[in-house]
Each structure stands twice: as C-alpha cells, then as structure tokens.
C-alpha cells in the first residue's frame, strides 16, 4: 500500500521548519546580545533590572530574527529543508519494489 502525503502536510512541515529556524536564530542573537552586554562594566543591577533587561534583549532578538537581517535562520532552513519528508521518501519506493 502506498501512502501519499498531502500537499498540506509538506507545507506544514516547511512552515514548522521555518519557524524553528527563526527561533534558533532568535536564541543565538539573544545569547549574543547578552554576551555583549556583559562586556560593558556597570554597577550591580537589581534582580528586577536584570530580568527586565533580559526580557528586552529577548524581544529585540526575536525582532531581529524576524527581520531576516542576519540570514542565519534562512541558512539553517536552506540546509535542513533538504531533509523534509517528501511523498517519495514516505512511500519507500515504487509499486514494483513493494509488491515484489
């Protein structure tokens, strides 16, 4: 029996991969911003100030990732999209191979 994957499933996989690569880029940028901030000498901030600054950096990192300015998410998507399941991979071969 051949299982053919619907077009919506492939589009859904692509959308989920694109979203995952954007989130990965946002996490990378967040760590980059945090590391850059730690290089600047400052007085000992309060816990609330640290939390606010971290939330602000995360929001900035997400905006930067969605702006496609850095290209890290696109590069990851381009590399990983080759591994998405297509209908040929799901079926496991042709009719002759499966019936024989």
- Over the stretch 65-81, which tens digit does the pLDDT of each residue have? 989 888 899 999 999 98
> What is the average pLDDT across 72-98?
70
In a domain, 49, yes or no: yes
Judged against a pLDDT cut of 70, whether residue 15 lies above it is answered with yes
Is position 2 within any domain? no
Identify the band that residue 24 occupies on the pLDDT scale cut at 50, 70 and 90.
very high
- Give tens-digit pLDDT for 29-63: 999 999 998 888 878 888 898 899 999 999 999 99
Length of the chain, please?
Answer: 100
How many domains is the chain built from?
A: 1
Q: Which of 10, 25, 24, 15 is nearest to 84 (CA)?
A: 10
Question: Is 99 among the domain residues?
Answer: no
Domain range holding 53?
7-94
Q: Does any domain span residue 1?
A: no
Q: CB under 8 Å to 98, separation ≥6 — which residues?
A: 1, 2, 91, 92
Residue 76 within any structural domain of the chain: yes
Asked if the structure places residue 13 within a domain, the reply is yes
Q: What is the pTM of this model?
A: 0.69
């Amino acid at each position: 029996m051949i299982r053919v994957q619907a077009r919506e499933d492939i589009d859904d996989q692509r959308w989920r991969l694109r979203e995952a690569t954007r989130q990965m880029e946002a996490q990378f940028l967040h760590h980059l911003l945090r590391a850059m901030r730690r290089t600047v000498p400052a007085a000992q901030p309060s816990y609330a100030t640290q939390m606010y600054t971290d939330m602000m950096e995360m929001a900035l990192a997400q905006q930067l990732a969605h702006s496609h300015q850095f290209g890290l998410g696109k590069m990851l998507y381009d590399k990983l999209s080759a591994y998405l399941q297509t209908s040929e991979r799901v079926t496991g071969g042709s009719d002759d191979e499966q019936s024989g």
